[in-house]
Structure 1
Amino acid sequence: MTLPDLPDTTALIVIDMQQGFTDPSWGDPADLDGCRAHVRELVDAFESAGRPVVVVRHDSDKPTSPLRRNAAGNAFFDEIAAIDPAVLVTKSVNSAFLGSPDLGAWLRERGLDTIVLCGIQTNMCVETTARMGGNLGYRVVVALDATTTFPLAGAGEAADAETLIRITAVNLAGGGFAEVTTTAETIAACTRGQHS
């Protein structure tokens, strides 16, 4: 199914593309290199279209986290560090809507009602931001191949990264929180939707 056009009131939200996610403690990611390449493609497409790119950084409060403030892993990957974002949002929880500055207020002030999400982790900060965005009334699009995550265990169960990505897709699309699509479809919809 083709993704409907993305209007000029669309912002790209790049979530937690940080070097700390290369730390072996996370386990094996699902195609981190592919995620990074797709995120860069989305950034290039949005910048070329003159659409805002929001960059989100996770500043962990946990003293042993690779993403903690002032740790080397808190830094962005090089391709993200080179971006001049419309705004940088910092957070210490899963949702980009609970960071600083207030993402919702920033979007509303600019009349932006559609958000495209990409980044790390699919089933954590990306999914939480998508769910909250849907609840707040935004049209939410997730470019699933521009996200990645890591294996997870809990409640006596375990799942690999690929399974968690598929589950997030089902949760978001099946639950009506977001349109789940690909980088290529998102870029095509962005191009078609210019000045719509």
Structure 2
Amino acid sequence: MDLLFTFMQVNEIAWDMTGDKFFLTTGNGTVEVLAYPSLKALDTLTAHTAGCYCIAIDPLGRYFAVGSADSLVSLWDIEEMLCVRTFVKLEWPVRTLSFNHTGEYIASASEDLFIDIANIETGRSIHQIPCRAAMNSVEWNPKSNLLAYAGDDKNKYQTDEGVFRIFGFQSA
């Protein structure tokens, strides 16, 4: 089955944990929520004041998070489709985000020179990983608090080179 749908600008897509809902982030600052398999529009969420670039689903199926060009990360209740919190640590457009395996933490990155790790219940930043350049991707290990991240870094000659690193910590 090959279906074609047209939207203004789709930046990232995600399924919910049940496979019943499909999410699309758009350049209009919205998240389009579709039912699956009918692909009937369930909701259009005005999520941000600028384009929504990335989306991640909490591994427990409670929340989804959206990163935007407005430098904010919004956390949404997946059942109520309501924003419950925003994270405001970054100053550049949010490029990537990921929940850890317990759904307790979220990592987000941009062109800021750090990756922010925040507690989703309190909204507080618990750690920042220093970077020398923009990060393009963050992804938590599905079984432990290991965060892999990749992006463009600077070498000793101050020229760009791709970098991949893994950061780990013990939760309190």
Q: TM-score, normalised by structure 2?
A: 0.28
Considering Cα pairs closer than 8 Å and 6+ residues apart, tell me whether 1 or 2 has the greater RCO: 1
Instruction: Tell me which protein shows more helix as a share of its residues.
Output: 1
Q: TM-score, normalised by structure 1?
A: 0.26
